[in-house]
Amino acid sequence: MERRHLAECGSTNTEALQHLRDGGGPLLVSASRQTAGRGRLGRAWLTDQAGNDAALTFSVAVTLPAELDLSGLSLAVGCTVADALDPDGERIRLKWPNDLFLDGAKLGGILIETVPLPDQRRGVVIGIGLNLQPLPPEADRGAFASGHAALQSLDPSATAGATLDRLAPALRAMLADFETLGFAPWQAAFGRRDLAAGRRVRVGDQPGVARGVSPRGELLLETAAGVLPMSGGELSLRLETSP
Ligand code: BTN
């Protein structure tokens, strides 16, 4: 897979999407600084812009069969990142469908975007942002609604380059498996790190108790009307009670 590093760009996802639209092959593009980082549901992805490499921001561009079900992809990506950075599985947890938490605060997020391509293929961009350094004292903590955790609290020696070198091969292997097997092989791994399991949550407007995920990566929400499978796309999950 080709690798490219940019000192600065708007969004590595935008760069990767354009690369696929231009007919490019597999690419990993990272940036020391994003000026217009994007999150899910039209939100901005904020990092402490005072320091370059305060966060690791990168995107992987691949082409996959157009008919492949991508509903569990962000969960498989989350499991892969968490297992690579926290192999003992004790501190990094996953919040369906796309958040990584460390010790109860948001460590990072995943943004998957697609672009139609010819020949029954689909361009898929997996954008990952991970906070590396703690916020400086003067930072506006109110801007980080889910809190802010830094990878350096787990591994004080974590740098952008070393973290990317760990994640790149793991993500490549995960994508090869996902293309043939879909999400099902990660269902149990997600369960071990599921931040919401057994907690009262709200998914969109629907309240309930989170009961794990299906083999397709849908959140299983226990409601008065039974267990409802919820798909990630436009939905986000709010935790309403502590474990
Ligand atoms: C979220 O938490 O809603 C997802 C955040 C995803 C951020 C990453 S940073 C690299 C890539 N480029 C972007 O503009 N967004 C993703």
Ranking 11-20, 49-58, 72-81 by mean pLDDT, the lowest is 49-58
Closest CA to 75 of 196, 199, 163: 196
CATH number reported for the structural domain that contains residue 171 in this entry: 3.30.930.10
Q: How many domains does the chain have?
A: 2
224 and 180 within one domain = no
Residues with CB under 6 A from ligand 1: 11-13, 34, 37-40, 43, 45, 57-59, 98-99, 109-111, 127-129
E strand or H helix at 124: strand 121-131
Q: Which helix (H) or strand (E) holds 176?
A: helix 160-181
Between strands 105-116 and 99-102, the pairing is: antiparallel
Ligand 1, atom 16: nearest CA belongs to which residue?
127
Ligand 1 atom closest to the CA of 41, numbered from 1: 3
Co-location of 27 and 75 in the same domain: yes
> Quick one: 129 and 170 in the same domain?
yes
- Reported as a single tens digit per residue, the pLDDT across 20-67 is 999 999 999 999 999 999 998 888 887 655 556 789 999 999 999 999
Cα separation, 54 vs 135, in Å, equals: 9
Q: Which domain holds residue 222?
A: 200-239
Query: Looking at the structure, do residues 162 and 51 belong to the same domain, yes or no?
Result: yes
Per the CB < 8 A criterion, the answer to whether 127 and 108 are in contact is no
What is the position in ligand 1's atom list of the atom closest to the CA of 128?
8
Q: Tell me the pLDDT tens digit for each residue of 99-132.
A: 999 999 999 999 999 999 988 999 999 999 999 9
pLDDT for 213 equals 97
Ligand 1, atom nearest to 108 Cα: 2
Identify whether residues 119 and 146 lie together within a single domain.
yes
pTM of the model: 0.94
Same domain, 212 and 116: no
Which residue's CA is minimally distant from atom 7 of ligand 1?
129
